[in-house]
Structure 1
Amino acid sequence: MNKIAYVLSSYPVLSETFVSTEMRAMEACGHEVQPIAFNHYEGEFQEQDTDLKDRTLFLSDYSKSIALKALPAIGIGIGKAIKFALLQKGISFYSLVGNALKLAYLAKRTHCTHFHAHFCQGAAATAIVAARLCGATVSFVGHGYDVYATPQDLPLKLASVDFAIAVCKDMVSDFKELSPKVNVSLVYCGIEPNRFKPTHIHNNRHEFVLNLIEFKEFKAFQKKFGKKDKKGKLLFIGRLCETKGLFTLLAALRLIPKEHRPQLDLVGDGVLREQLIEYVKKNKLSQFVNFLGAKQSSWFIESSKNYDAMVAPFELASNGDRDTGPVVVKEAMALKLPVITTYFMGCNEFLTRSTGLRVPPKDPIKLASMIKQFYRMPVFDVLCMKNNAYKRVCDLYTAQKQARKLSSLIENTANHF
C-alpha cells in the first residue's frame, strides 16, 4: 500500500483533532503515514497525538541546502511543477519551489508515494509541486476558511491534483462549480468510536437497564427544572470565533426567563473571548455563563454526562468563513449528548429530525424557543433522539469507515498514475 506524506502547515493543533484521527485511521487500514509540517505548533495539543507528533518532520528544522538533495529525484513532472508554481499567486515562486524541494526530499527519504495535504492553502500548493517533481500522486482536503474565507488559487489547485476531498456535500458542489473537471470525492471527518462512547455501559445486554436509568434521571430533572434548586446545564465546545454563533447563543440565553434559564459552559478559546466576556457582563449573564478555556478531548468524553445538551449554533461569518463539517457534532452524537444546532452546511447531513434539533442560523428567538422546547420534550423522545444519533454516527461517520474511502481513492489513483 502507498505510504502517505501528510502535508500540514503546523502540527499538532489542539482544535484540529480531525487530522490526527484520520492519520490513525489510515494506519489501521494498512497505510504507513509520515506527517510533514512546515512549522512546530507552539500551543497545547491533544495528548493522544503525542506519538504522531514525535514522528513528524518539520521543514523549518532543515536548512535550504537540503533542497539540493532532492534534485536527483526530479522526474518528467518538472514541467507541470514549474508551470503550477508560475501560475499560482499565493506564494512567491522561489519560496514555493524551495519548500517543495525540501518536501520532496523528505518524502523520498521516508519512501512516501502519495502526498495528502490538509487545508488547501500553502500546504496544498507545496504538496502539488513536490509531488510533480518526484513523480508521486497528490490530493488535498478542504475544510472551512481555506475554501470560503481566504482561498488561494483554488480553481488552479483543483485542476492540478489527482483528486480533491470535500468534507460535506455543499463543498463538493462548490468545488465542481470552481473546476468542472475536478475529481472530487466526499470523505467526512470521522470520529473514533473506541474513544467517543457514552461513559455508561451501552452494549445490548444492558441497553434496557441504561434507558430505564436515563428515563428516571431525566424525568426527575424535568420535574425540578425551573425551580431554584435545579438548573439545566448546556455545553458549547469550539473556538471562540464568529462562525460558532456565540453572540446568537448568548442573546438566546438572555431571552429565556431567569427562572428557566440554564447554565452554559463555554469550552474553548479564540479571538472573541474578551468581547464575549464583555457581552456577558453587560447583559448580566455572569451567573449563567462560565468560560472554561480550551480542554482536551478526554475532558469532553468524561464530562459529557454532566450536561443536558450541546448547543452549537453555527453561522456564516462576515468574511465568508464557515464550519463545513464540524466533528464536535458527531462526537456529541457518539457520546449520546443531544445536539441543538442550526440548519447549516454539514449539520444538515449529520443530523435528521430524529437525531437532533436545529433552527435557522443567526436567529436568537428561535434558538431560545428550541432550548425551552428541548426541556419540555417527553423523556422517551429524548432517549430515542440520543439512541438514534448514536446509531447514525456509528453507522455512517466513524473514522475507519471514512478512511476506507480515502484509502481506496489513493490506491486507485496510484494504480493509474
Structure 2
Amino acid sequence: MMRTFATMAALAALGMSAALAQQPPLQGQPQGQPKGQPQGQPKGQPKGPPLGGPATMQMQAAAAGGPNCHQTAIATSRDGMSFTPDGQILERASVPDGVRLPGGGLGVYYVTGGDDHGIFLGRLVGSRWERGEKVLLDGAFDGNAVDPDAVNLPDGRIRLFYYRGAFVAGAVPSQMAPFYSAISTDGVRFTVEGKVFEIEGGTDPSAVQLPDGSWLLAVARAQAREMVIARSADGKVFERVATLANGGIPELNVLADGRVRIFFNGSGGAGTPPGMVSRISADGGRTWTDERGTRLNLQGFAADPSVVRLDNGQYRMFYKTADQACEQANRPAMPVGGPAGMPKGAPQTFGPGQQPLPPIPVGPGGVQGQPKGPLGQPKGPVAQ
C-alpha cells in the first residue's frame, strides 16, 4: 500500500505513505492533527463521488513515476514474526495485497500507473507470477481506485477495501479521503457496497473481521505520520477508536487467540526501527503495544506489507520496493509556491516535456519469482 516521493504530500496523494516515514517533512508542511472525522455510509457509490486529495497532484503523480517505479517483492517466515526476503515477483506494481482466490490459488492485488492506473489482480500460475487482469468495480475499471486490501469471507467471497483518490482526468478533489468496500465472487468483478469511512489525509486501508463478527479498519495518515484505527459492527460503517503515532502503511492480522497484530513500515527514526515492524492489541484495537525487533529487516526502502498464511504453515509477506533512479527521473523540482492544486514546496511529479510510461501489458509474462511452498490461505488467523 506505498510510495517513495520526497514529500509527505505527494506520498499521501498516491496512497503511498510509507516512505514519508523515512524522510523529514519539508518546511511549511503541517504536522498537526487534521480535523477529519469518520463519516457514515451512503447508500452506494455515486457516479461522481468526492475524491480524496488535491486532484492536480494525484493525476500528475499517477502519470509520471509513481507506481511505474515500484516493484512487488515477497518474503517468507516460519512463525509470522521473522521474515526473510524471497525476491521480486512483479515490476511496475505498487501497493500489493496478497489474497486467497475463490477458485483456489494465490493472487495479489496491486496498483499500476500511466494510462492503466488502477487496481489489477496478479496470479501465481505454477511457479511464476503473471500480471493478471484489471479489477472491475460495478462493471468498470476505475483509475481513481487504489490501495486495495482484500478480506476472504467465510462464504468464499472477497470483500475489497480501497481508497478512492483523484488520479485521472475529470476527478473532483476533496479534503476528505473516502474509503469504499466492494464484494466479489471471483476476485475480479466487484459490486460496490458504498463508502465505509473517510478522514482527512487518509490512504492505504487494511481491514480484518474479528472473532466476534465485528470489523477493524486501519488507515495511514502520511502528513501526521500516524495510523488511524476504526471499528464497525457490520464492516460497512466504521467509527474511529484510536490513533497510533509513529506509524506507516498498516496491515492488520488476527491471531489465533483473538489478538490483533498490525504490521507497518518503520521509519528508522521517530520512535520506530527501519524495516517492517509490528504492534499488538488485546482489546479489539483500542490500545496497542510495540513488539520488539523487526519483522523484516531490509537495507533499502520497503513498505505496504501484506501477510498471508500458506498451506504448509509458513507465512508470506508481500511488500513494495522502489526504483530510486526512476522516481528521481520523473520528479523534477517545482517552483516555489507550486501550481494550483498542489501544496507549496511539494515536488512536481510530471514535468514539462515528460511523457507517461507506456501502459502495462495485461496477460502472461512480466517479472516472475520463485515462491517457496504451496499456495496461500486467508489472512487470519496467523501465528502468535
User: Could you state the TM-score of these two structures normalised by the residue count of structure 1?
Assistant: 0.23
Q: Which has the higher helix share?
A: 1
Instruction: State the structure with bigger RCO (CA 8 A, min sep 6), 1 or 2.
Output: 2
Q: Higher Cα Rg: structure 1 or 2?
A: 1
TM-score, with length taken from structure 2: 0.24
Q: Which structure has the highest strand share of the two?
A: 2
